[in-house]
Amino acid sequence: KKRGVREHLDGVDAANLWQPVSYCCTATSGLCSFWQWAGASVASTSARSTPDNRPARETGQRGKRLRGGAAKIMTGRAAPTPPQASPRDVAVDDEQQTPRHGLVYRVGSKRKDEDRAVAGEHVTCGGERFAYFAIFDGHGGKDAADRCQATLHDQISRRAPDSSKATDALSEGLRRACWELDEDLGSAHVDAGTTATILCIGRSTATLGWVGDSTALVVDMTSPKPAWATPKHNPQNPSEVARMKAEWGARREFLLYESPDGEDQAYNEAMDAFTATYEKRLADHFRAQNLPPLRPNLIRDSMRRETLINDRCDRVNTMRRKQSFEAVTKFGKVVSGQDMDATIDMKRHDSNFTRRTSPEDGRPRGPVVVGANWRGRRPGTTVGGASTCVTRSIGDWDASRAVIPEPETRTWETSNVFDRVVLASDGLWDLVSFDQAAVCMRSVDDPQKAAQLLLKRAKSESARRGYSGLKDDTTILVVDINPKGLAVTETAQGCAC
C-alpha cells in the first residue's frame, strides 16, 4: 500500500497539489482522514461510496483513483502526511473558501457501513452562501442516508423561500427539504431511515439543524465554560414523548371528528379544520406543562404524511421491509412471510413506547424504543412494525407514524467567537461523554487531529467495555468557526485520549 501511494504521488504534478481534494469513506479503508491542503481553494470534501458501496478505485491501480486530473480519492490505511494548511481559519466571505474541518470514519463490528457525511459543500439561501457540513446515520439500510448525502444540500437551496433574512430562509429551506426527501423515499418504497445533523456557516452566523440522535456538540475554544449539545430526538426526551402522544391522540380524535355545523366536508378540509382546533388546545397543554411549543401546523403536516403512507399501503398492499417477507422463527414458532404481510390504515395502526425483546426468550431488553403494531390481513393477527430508537428521522415509513422528519434548528452569531463544532453519530456518543469530548477538542489546534483523538478515545472505551472494535459505525466531523483566526494552545492536559 505504501508503494502504491508513493507511486501515485510521484506521478502527480506539483501544481496539482494546490487544487481542491476530496476523499472517500469506504468500508475497506476503515478510517477516512481528511487533510485540508493549502492553496487558493480550500478542499470541498464529501464522504462518499460508489453506488454499490465498494471502494472507489481504478482497475489495476490499488489505493488511488484520479478524477478530472486534480481530484483524488485515496484508500488504504497508510498515507504520507501532505502539506498542512495554515493553522488559522478564514471567514466565509470568499465563496471559494471553507472553514477548517476534519473527518474520520470507522465501520463498526457489525459491518453495516450505514453512516454518511458531507463536508465543504455550499447552500444558497436568501441571497447568502453558506458552507455546508452534514452527517447521516442510516438504519434499516443505506438507501436513505445515501439519498440525503447526495441531494439534501441541493434541495435546501431549491426549497428555501425568498426572505429578507438569510437565516430564516435557511431554516425554512432545511425544513421543507427534509419533508420533501421523506416523501420521495416513501413514495419510492425505500423504508430505510436516517438521522441528519447539518451545520451551515455564513458570513456572521452559524445554524445547526438536526433530526434524530446524531448529536452536535459546540465547544467555545476561548473559555472553559461548558459546551452545549443538541438535544436528542429519542424516547428519553420528555418533549418528544409529549409530542408523539399528542400526535397519536390527534389521530384517534380525528377518526371521530364531525363538522361543527354538521355539513359534509372534503377530507383535507376536515383535516385542516380539526387540526386548527386541536393545535390550539395542544398549545395550552404544552404551556401548562412547561414544554416547548410545537411549530404551527406540525400536527396537520404529520397527519397529511399519514395519508400518503395509507395511500401507498392501498397500492402495494404491504408496509414491510424486505427481510420481513422471509420465513423467520420467533419464540420457537415459524412465521411465514404471508402471515407477516399487512394491509394497514390509520384505524389499524397502533404505536407505543416499548422495549425490544430477546430472540432467545422473548424478554424485554435494551433501551426504550418507539414500537409500531399493525393488524394483519388475516383476522386476529398482529404484525410488528419497525421499532426505532429515534422519534424523528427521514424515511422509516414502516415505523410509527409519529416518527417525523421535522428538524429542530438553532442559529447563533459567530462574528466574535471561536467555536469548534463536533458532528458525530451515536457510535461516538455511546462511548464518549460531552465533557470528555470538549477536553479533547481544547487540547489540539488542528480539527483533523481533534477528530482522530475522539476516535481514539472511542476505541479505547470500546475495548475497556469488552467489545471487539467499535460496536457501531462511527463518523466524526469537526468544524472550526474562527473568523478572527484565534490560536489554540496545544496541550494534552485532562484529555483521556
| pLDDT for the residue numbered 477 | 97
* Cα 255 to chain centroid, rounded: 33
Provide the residue-wise pLDDT of the chain in tens; the chain has 497 residues.
Answer: 444 433 433 443 333 333 333 333 433 333 333 333 333 333 334 444 333 433 333 333 333 222 232 222 222 333 333 333 333 333 333 445 789 999 999 998 888 899 999 998 999 999 999 999 999 999 989 999 999 999 999 999 999 998 779 999 999 999 999 999 999 998 888 889 999 999 999 999 999 999 999 999 999 998 888 889 999 999 999 999 999 999 988 988 888 887 777 677 788 888 899 999 999 999 999 999 999 999 999 999 999 998 888 777 666 544 544 433 333 333 333 333 333 333 333 334 556 777 666 666 667 667 788 877 665 555 666 666 678 899 999 999 888 888 999 999 999 999 989 999 999 999 999 999 999 999 999 999 999 999 999 999 999 999 999 888 898 999 999 999 998 888 886 654 444 44
Sorted by sequence, the CB contacts under 8 Å of residue 358 that are 6+ apart come out as 364, 365
Cell 498542512 appears where?
84
- Are 75 and 55 in contact by the 8 Å Cβ rule? The answer is yes
Please state the separation of Cα 284 from the chain's center in Å: 32
Inter-CA distances, 352 with 168, 174, 208, 245, 370, Å:
35, 29, 30, 9, 6
Q: Which of 391, 411, 446, 473 is nearest to 30 (CA)?
A: 473
Take residue 464 and report the three cell numbers written for it.
475497556
Residues in the chain: 497
Count of Cβ atoms closer than 10 Å to residue 295 Cβ: 11
**Overall pTM > 0.85:** no
User: Which of 397, 295, 377 minimizes the C-alpha distance to 337?
Assistant: 377
Cα 6 off chain centre by: 36
Phi/psi of residue 259, each to 5°? -60, 140
- How many Å apart are CA 204 and CA 159, to the nearest integer? 22
> At CA 285, angle to CA 280 and CA 286, rounded to 5?
100
3 state DSSP class of 316? helix
At 26, list the grid cell: 469506504
Longest dimension (CA), the chain: 81
Which three cell numbers, joined as nine digits, stand for 127? 441571497
Q: What is the pLDDT of residue 44?
A: 39
Decide if 454 contacts 436 (C-beta within 8 A): no
* Beta-ladder partners of 395: 193
For 358, how many CA atoms within 13 A lie in the half-sphere containing its CB?
Answer: 6
State the pLDDT at residue 264. Answer: 72
pLDDT at 377: 55
Q: What angle do CA 190, 194, 198 make, to 5 degrees?
A: 130
Q: What is the pLDDT of residue 125?
A: 95
What are the phi and psi torsion angles at 176 (to 5°)?
-65, -40
Is there a contact between 27 and 105 (Cβ–Cβ < 8 Å)? no
| DSSP code for 80 | P
State the cell numbers at 407. 428538524
The pLDDT value recorded for residue 378 is 59
Residue 376: per-residue pLDDT: 56
> Residue 231 has which C-alpha cell?
438535544
What sign does the dihedral 141-145-151-152 (CA atoms) show? positive
Contact yes or no for 229/441 (Cβ under 8 A): no
| 16 backbone dihedrals φ, ψ, rounded to 5° | -75, -15
| Residues whose CB is less than 8 angstroms from the CB of residue 175 and which lie 6 or more positions away in sequence, other chains included | 406, 407, 409
Helix (H) or strand (E) holding 201: strand 196-201
Closest CA to 282 of 309, 303, 259, 258: 303
Q: Return phi, psi of residue 117, to 5°.
A: -150, 150
